[in-house]
């Protein structure tokens, strides 16, 4: 293929988009005179079928072996024209695009200037295209399994979809049970389905699915490899309860010396549990585990005469000798569904969350109002004799969202509706209660949301536009200081209870996941998708996908939809069993490599390693690129002192002529 | 400064070891003040070894550039160590080569020679031109004592040593398996006064200065060939496809060559000054290098060639690296 | 400097941010001087600082390297690597008397079409002041 370049140049008018400011006729005349150019033509729309046909016919007729298209940005139609080359039997990488629309005709007004610039850009493309080399798009096999990190609704849904398609799933969950945040919710907006009722069947499905290996109370320790071939190491933390023997009867928890004395994470600290516990009654798997941070025997080495749980267990499942276990397996793809944390209301001290028991967060309210919650669904505050039923209840929205002072500029998308839902539930339980919601805006954007918002207002919930400045206690009542911004009047609102509509935040342990996979974060600190619009479930790392709130705040339907999207992206790889590898990657001219390892250190994808090769009987180090891992950034090339590392299609020998063509006079 | 007997005894002992291939040191040159690299392969060779203020050359160049002759089929390559005498600056070259994996630690046996400075032959030639008889030299109480044909002459250090020695921060070897003699006092600093003085000149003045220097460059490549950090099998600047630098000798190519050479040493130059010493047209090359040494020191608090475990400067970054020039 | 001197600028733009930002300037019809021509690379980390010296030799009066903002690099850290290299090459060029306004670097994101215009305008305006590069251009430029 190293025969002399025979270049065809094709100049697009793009209707009048280019032709209006660039003299395409003159450009075409100029192009013919450039070195190695055989034909130059212009056409109204090169990307159209007749335009492409022109290229294909010229390639066949004139034996062209290089093509330059002067048109819109290569980010627009590079692929289109590559396909045209392939159809004409030419390697698709024998193409160079001169961007004379976005970088020329659209940004300059003077026709002479624009035409002169277009000539230069075209000249540079011709200079480069002569030195382009044919590239092959390789494929690698994809292992027929997927790792799903996070067992919330996103992880469960993605796992079920992939498993139903016939592929193996490893579903890793950090806590003892799958279910995630959704399992903590009482009802879901706007349909008021019981959250547990719609979630629990899916949890059971996931646990019993023959294709799903559930690894609860486990954490991913390391992920190495690349798309199609990830090696995963998972730490199964010791439960101190034999998983196979435990029947989930709960006798151990009843007997535990700390029974009802350890704060329950599931109930957001409102209710208590034992040191040996099931996070919640419908937990899956229904296996008890011992909390090593509170268990007396594990923390102090002593628990009464002998641990009561051991005696109580009829199956003899309690095992204090149990150790963490490392499980290793291979997968072809990874789905990150690690969810969110709720905003820590203590970071808005003016709302008194840390000071007053009757200031709750939305999630705490969910547990308080849930019939499976610590009060059995009775909306009461205080304990024992101090127990009382609140009459005046206020909600405050946008706590920790849309708030630069907390560093969270984004809208959490669920608070408008969950406060409306909670307000409805309050009115349902306490029809006499006065409920008001302090808001900045009401964003009822989803299906059925606006209707629900209307319904809640009809039920007597008052919406007051204002962002409270302070909450303090006076005569045993909470006083909300706020300005009603619709009337402009300052208010002092005395209430019995405040519910803070706290927003969603990236998980505080997100760093662990970032380090595992080298994920990026967007400015809101959620994981960054590959493209905000066109690749919202993909990441910069091939074969790794995002699902649910790990990528950004979402409600349940959006989370499920994204999980299904991530599953479908993963399935594209899994079901084809192959993945195309970047062609424009780096490679090393080994005989010239001095083995200094600069490129190895520079590569952010660990795609380069030093290998020992035999050089006339001597063992010497040279760098070698793993073509699957290389993403084609070229940072190694610029760092190579000997010029031994080069990036295909962006080689020094291809860029230097471009520079000359741009620098030289016309 | 060790006496030659001690040096030669150590060399004999070293070369007699089974795991040493050869030893690289210095010997008296053929005339005048010259000294030459000396390869000791048998104990008798050691009798010619010297170490004096005239031993300027950085022998570390020979480590990475050592010719690897084809190993005949069926036989094993000679993997014994190379023993090498190093001054402070030379030892930094060894360390930097270790960092860049040009050599392996187990392949080299480092004999450290604490150094009070080496004589700048140009300064000496000015005082005593055309000296053909061999001249011996030694350090005496901080002064350089020379046995000239006309008799003994003693010079204060400041008057006679190379510029790089006056600012030297590492007169004592930073790596050594064995050290000859006592460590000497460190007097250099990172003030970069010379560079600062030049920087305050106008761009016009600076270019005029360098234009004259680069114009005189004959592209003999001695600066590159002597540099212990330049050890690519084929220099990128020699390549014709693509030709980064054209072969013609003119201000454009000369400047580009010198800029490339200096830039390739960014974060790697260990300030041995060999490039400047060997330049036949006296381009102040270490001046160019020192500019980058200054930037590397001040912007990145980085010193190459002191820590064999260090990561090279230009393979990494800090998120808070200086970026005030960025638009 | 002659009245009608128009500087010639060669720019290296990363595919993901700056090139896309320049594309956006186009789709938004944001007008800017036509003196700057772009070479697309995948990442600013690909830009060998010697490209800059080469561009000056080959007839450019100024050079621009533009990448993603810190933290936005499509390849995670290419722009950081580029920043170090550029910082040192700028100092070196400046030291030998090349006006530092000839060698520019910018962060332009895919959404900063207007910033791209400002960068181009700024670079070109500066070069009008600095004038043609006469220090060490090649006599004859071949490609």
- Are A352 and A501 in the same domain? yes
Q: Report pLDDT digits (tens) over A386-442.
A: 899 999 999 999 999 999 999 999 999 999 999 999 999 999 999 999 999 999 999
- Are A40 and A101 in the same domain? yes
Report CB contact under 8 Å: B233, A592.
yes
Domain containing A623: what range? 586-648
- Are A335 and A350 in the same domain? no
Q: Give me the pLDDT at residue A1, please.
A: 46
Residue ending a domain, choose from A474, A505, A536: A505
User: Looking at the predicted structure, is the pLDDT value of residue A518 above 80?
Assistant: no
Q: Does B233 touch chain A (CB under 8 A)?
A: yes
Of B126, B132, B160, B158, the residue nearest B146 (C-alpha): B160
Q: Give me the pLDDT at residue B92, please.
A: 97
Q: Report pLDDT digits (tens) over A475-516.
A: 999 999 999 999 999 999 999 999 999 999 999 999 899 888
Is residue A101 a part of any domain in this protein? yes
Q: Report pLDDT digits (tens) over A358-397.
A: 999 999 999 999 998 999 899 999 888 889 999 999 999 9
Q: Is A369 helix (H, G, I), strand (E, B) or coil?
A: helix
Chains in touch with A (3+ beta-carbon pairs under 8 Å) read: B, C
> How far, in Å, are A283, A393, A462, A523, B89 from residue A467 at the CA level?
38, 16, 15, 25, 67
User: Looking at the predicted structure, is the pLDDT value of residue C1 above 60?
Assistant: no
- Are A501 and A511 in the same domain? no
Contact A653, B242 (CB under 8 A): yes
Interface of C with A in 16-55 (CB under 8 A): 19-20, 22-23, 25-27, 29-32, 34, 37-43, 45-49, 51, 54-55
- Are A130 and A229 in the same domain? no
Q: Give me the pLDDT at residue A523, please.
A: 77
> How far, in Å, are A597, B89, B170, B288 from residue B92 at the CA level?
19, 5, 8, 19
Q: How far is C135 from chain A (nearest CA, A)?
A: 15
Report d(CA B45, CA B33) in Å as an integer.
Answer: 21
Is residue A657 a part of any domain in this protein? no
Is residue A476 a part of any domain in this protein? yes
Q: What is the CATH number of the domain that holds A622?
A: 3.30.70.20
DSSP secondary structure letters along B233-273: SS-TTT--TT-SS-SS-SHHHHHHHHHHHHHHTTTT-----
CB-nearest to A616 from B71, B101, B235 is B71
Q: Give me the pLDDT at residue B241, please.
A: 86
Report d(CA C92, CA A408) in Å as an integer.
Answer: 42
Per cent of chain A over pLDDT 70 is 100
**More confident site: A321 or A605:** A321
Identify the structural domains of chain C with CATH numbers, from first to last: 9-130 (3.40.50.960)
Residue ending a domain, choose from A505, A532, A557: A505
Contact A562, A548 (CB under 8 A): yes
User: Looking at the predicted structure, is the pLDDT value of residue A634 above 90?
Assistant: yes
Q: Which range has the worst mean pLDDT, A638-642, B2-6, B163-167, C114-118?
A: B2-6
Residues in chain C whose beta carbon is closer than 8 A to a beta carbon of chain B?
49-50, 53-54, 57, 70-71, 77, 80-81, 83-100, 104-107, 119, 122-123, 135-139
Report CB contact under 8 Å: C26, A518.
no
Q: How far is B70 from chain A (nearest CA, A)?
A: 5
Residues in chain C closer than 8 A to A74 (CB atoms): 40
Per cent of chain A over pLDDT 90 is 88
Is residue A243 a part of any domain in this protein? no
CB-nearest to B71 from A596, A618, A651 is A618
For chain A, how big is the Rg over CA atoms in Å?
32
Mean pLDDT, range A316-337, rounded to an integer: 96
> How far, in Å, are A298, A603, C80 from residue B321 at the CA level?
47, 19, 8
Report CB contact under 8 Å: A107, C85.
no
Q: Give me the pLDDT at residue C3, please.
A: 63
Of A145, A93, A112, A120, the residue nearest A31 (C-alpha): A120
Report CB contact under 8 Å: C45, A664.
no
Is residue A611 a part of any domain in this protein? yes
- Are A69 and A155 in the same domain? no
Report d(CA A493, CA A462) in Å as an integer.
Answer: 13
Q: What are the two backbone dihedrals, phi and then psi, of residue A171, each rounded to the nearest 5 degrees?
A: -105, 110
CA closest to C133 among chain A residues: A663
Interface ipTM above 0.90: yes
Is residue A20 a part of any domain in this protein? yes
CB-nearest to A662 from C31, C37, C71 is C37
- Are A335 and A345 in the same domain? no
3-state helix, strand, coil in chain B (%, to 5): 35, 15, 50
Is residue A661 a part of any domain in this protein? no
Q: Does C132 touch chain A (CB under 8 A)?
A: no
Q: Report pLDDT digits (tens) over A521-559.
A: 877 899 988 777 778 999 878 899 999 999 999 999 999
Q: Give me the pLDDT at residue B64, please.
A: 82
Mean of pLDDT over chain A: 94
- Are A524 and A603 in the same domain? no
Q: Enumerate the domain spans of chain B.
A: 4-315
Q: What are the two backbone dihedrals, phi and then psi, of residue A422, each rounded to the nearest 5 degrees?
A: -65, -40
Write the CB contacts of B191 (distance below 8 Å, at least 6 apart in sequence).
none
Report CB contact under 8 Å: C42, A638.
no
Q: Does A663 touch chain B (CB under 8 A)?
A: no
Residue segments in chain B with a per-residue pLDDT below the cut of 50 = 1
Provide the domain count of chain A. Answer: 5
Q: Which range has the worst mean pLDDT, A180-194, A314-328, B130-144?
A: B130-144
Q: Give me the pLDDT at residue A105, please.
A: 96
Q: How far is A594 from chain B (nearest CA, A)?
A: 6
Beginning with the edge strand found earlier in the chain, give each strand of the sheet holding A145-149 in spatial order: A212-215, A168-172, A145-149, A333-336, A544-546
Mean pLDDT, range C115-142, rounded to an integer: 94
CA closest to A632 among chain C residues: C42
Residue ending a domain, choose from A488, A505, A522: A505
The structure tokens 């002067």 sit at: A70
Q: Give me the pLDDT at residue A528, please.
A: 86
Is residue A660 a part of any domain in this protein? no
Mutate to test the interface with C, among B213, B244, B259, B294 (most CBs of C within 10 A): B259
Q: Give me the pLDDT at residue C4, please.
A: 82
Q: Give me the pLDDT at residue A616, please.
A: 86
Q: Does A80 touch chain B (CB under 8 A)?
A: no
CA dihedral B201, B204, B209, B215 (to 10 degrees): 160
């Amino acid at each position: 293929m190293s025969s002399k370049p025979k270049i065809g140049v094709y100049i697009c008018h793009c209707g009048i988009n280019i032709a209006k400011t660039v003299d395409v006729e003159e450009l075409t005349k100029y192009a013919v005179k450039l070195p190695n150019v055989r034909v130059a033509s212009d056409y109204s729309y090169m990307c159209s079928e007749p335009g492409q046909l022109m290229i294909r016919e010229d390639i066949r007729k004139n034996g062209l072996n290089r093509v330059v298209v002067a048109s819109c940005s290569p980010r627009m139609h590079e692929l289109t024209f590559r396909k045209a080359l392939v159809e004409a039997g030419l390697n698709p990488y024998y193409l160079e695009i001169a961007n004379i629309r976005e970088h020329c005709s659209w940004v300059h007004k003077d026709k002479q200037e624009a035409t002169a610039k277009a000539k230069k850009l075209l000249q540079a493309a011709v200079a480069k295209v002569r030195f382009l080399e044919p590239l092959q798009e390789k494929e690698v096999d994809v292992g027929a399994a997927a790792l799903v990190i996070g067992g919330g609704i996103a992880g469960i849904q993605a796992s079920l979809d992939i498993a139903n398609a016939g592929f193996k799933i490893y579903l890793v969950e950090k806590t003892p049970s799958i279910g995630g945040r959704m399992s903590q919710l009482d009802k879901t907006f706007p349909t008021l389905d019981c959250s547990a009722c719609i979630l629990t069947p899916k949890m059971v499905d996931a646990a019993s699915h023959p294709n799903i290996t559930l690894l609860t109370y486990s954490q991913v320790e390391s992920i190495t490899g690349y798309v199609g071939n990830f090696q995963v190491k998972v730490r199964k933390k010791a439960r101190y309860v034999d998983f196979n023997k435990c029947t989930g009867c709960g006798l151990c928890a009843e007997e535990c010396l700390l029974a009802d004395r350890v704060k329950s994470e599931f109930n957001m600290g409102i209710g208590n549990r034992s040191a040996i516990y099931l996070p919640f009654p419908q937990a899956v798997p229904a296996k008890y585990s011992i909390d090593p941070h509170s268990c007396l025997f594990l923390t102090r080495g002593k628990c009464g005469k002998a641990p009561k749980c051991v005696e109580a267990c009829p199956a003899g499942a309690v095992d204090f000798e149990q150790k963490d276990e490392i499980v290793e397996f291979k997968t072809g793809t990874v789905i990150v569904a690690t969810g969110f944390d709720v905003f820590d209301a203590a970071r808005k001290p003016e709302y008194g969350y840390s000071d007053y028991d009757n200031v709750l967060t939305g999630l705490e309210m969910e547990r308080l109002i849930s019939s499976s919650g610590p009060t059995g669904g009775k909306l009461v505050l205080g304990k024992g004799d101090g127990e009382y039923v609140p009459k005046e209840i206020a909600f405050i929205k946008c706590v920790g969202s849309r708030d630069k002072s907390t560093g969270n500029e984004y809208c959490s998308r669920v608070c408008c509706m969950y406060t409306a839902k909670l307000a409805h539930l309050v009115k349902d339980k306490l029809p006499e209660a006065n409920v008001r919601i302090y808001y900045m805006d009401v964003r009822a954007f989803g299906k059925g949301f606006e209707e629900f918002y209307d319904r809640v207002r009809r039920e007597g919930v008052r919406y007051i536009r204002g962002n409270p400045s302070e909450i303090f206690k006076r005569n045993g009542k909470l006083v909300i200081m706020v300005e009603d911004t619709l009337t402009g009047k300052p208010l002092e609102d005395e209430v019995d209870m405040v519910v803070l509509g706290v927003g969603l935040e990236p998980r505080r342990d997100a760093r662990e996941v970032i380090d595992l996979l080298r994920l990026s974060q967007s400015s809101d600190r959620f994981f960054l998708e590959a493209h905000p619009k066109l690749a919202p479930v993909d990441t910069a790392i091939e074969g790794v996908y995002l699902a649910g709130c790990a990528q950004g705040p979402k409600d349940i339907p959006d989370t499920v939809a994204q999980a299904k999207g991530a599953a479908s992206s993963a399935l594209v790889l899994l079901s084809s069993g192959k993945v195309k590898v970047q062609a424009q990657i780096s490679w090393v001219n080994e005989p010239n490599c001095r083995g200094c390892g600069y490129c190895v250190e520079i590569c952010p994808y660990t795609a380069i390693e030093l290998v020992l090769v035999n050089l006339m009987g001597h063992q010497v180090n040279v760098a070698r690129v793993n073509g699957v891992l290389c993403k084609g950034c070229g940072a190694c090339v610029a760092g190579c002192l000997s010029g031994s590392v080069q990036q295909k299609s962006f080689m020094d020998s291809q860029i230097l002529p471009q520079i000359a063509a741009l620098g030289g006079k016309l | 400064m060790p006496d030659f007997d001690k040096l030669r005894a150590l060399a004999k002992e070293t070369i007699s070891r089974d795991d040493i291939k050869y030893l690289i040191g210095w010997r008296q040159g053929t005339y005048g003040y010259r000294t030459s690299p000396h390869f000791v392969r048998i104990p008798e060779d050691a009798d010619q070894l010297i170490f004096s203020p005239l031993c300027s050359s950085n022998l570390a160049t020979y480590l990475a550039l050592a010719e690897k002759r084809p190993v005949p089929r069926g036989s094993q390559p000679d993997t014994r160590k190379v023993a090498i005498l190093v001054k402070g600056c030379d030892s930094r070259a060894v360390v930097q080569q270790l960092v860049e994996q040009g050599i392996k630690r187990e392949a080299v046996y480092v004999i450290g020679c604490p150094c009070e400075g080496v004589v700048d032959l140009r300064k000496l030639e000015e005082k005593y031109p055309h000296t053909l008889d061999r001249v011996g030299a030694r350090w005496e109480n901080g002064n350089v004592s020379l046995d000239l044909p006309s008799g003994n002459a003693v010079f204060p250090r400041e008057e006679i040593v190379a510029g790089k020695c006056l600012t030297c921060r590492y007169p004592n070897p930073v790596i050594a398996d064995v050290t000859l003699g006592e460590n000497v006092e460190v007097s250099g600093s990172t003030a970069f006064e010379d560079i600062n003085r030049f920087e305050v000149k106008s761009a016009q003045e600076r270019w005029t200065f360098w234009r004259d220097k680069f114009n005189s460059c004959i592209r003999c490549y001695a600066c590159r060939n002597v540099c212990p950090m330049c050890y690519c099998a084929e220099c990128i600047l020699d390549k014709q496809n693509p030709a980064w630098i054209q072969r013609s000798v003119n201000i454009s190519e000369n400047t580009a060559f010198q800029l490339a050479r200096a830039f390739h040493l960014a974060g790697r130059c260990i300030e041995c000054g060999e490039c400047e010493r060997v330049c036949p047209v006296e381009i102040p090359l270490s001046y160019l290098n020192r500019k980058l040494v200054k930037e590397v020191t001040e912007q990145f608090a980085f010193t190459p060639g002191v820590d064999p475990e260090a990561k090279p400067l230009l393979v990494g970054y800090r998120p808070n690296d200086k970026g005030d020039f960025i638009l | 400097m002659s009245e009608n001197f128009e500087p010639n600028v060669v720019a290296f733009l990363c595919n993901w941010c700056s090139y896309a930002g320049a594309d956006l300037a186009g789709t938004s019809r944001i007008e800017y001087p036509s003196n700057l021509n772009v070479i697309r690379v995948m990442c600013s980390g690909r830009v060998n600082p010697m490209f800059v010296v080469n561009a000056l030799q080959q007839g450019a009066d100024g050079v621009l390297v533009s990448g993603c903002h810190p933290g936005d690099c499509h390849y995670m850290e290419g722009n950081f690597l580029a920043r170090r290299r550029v910082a040192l090459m700028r100092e070196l060029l400046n030291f030998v008397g090349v006006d530092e306004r000839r060698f520019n670097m910018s962060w332009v994101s895919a959404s900063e079409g207007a910033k791209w215009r400002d960068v181009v305008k700024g670079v070109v305006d500066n070069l009008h002041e600095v004038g043609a590069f006469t220090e060490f251009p090649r006599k004859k430029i071949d490609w």
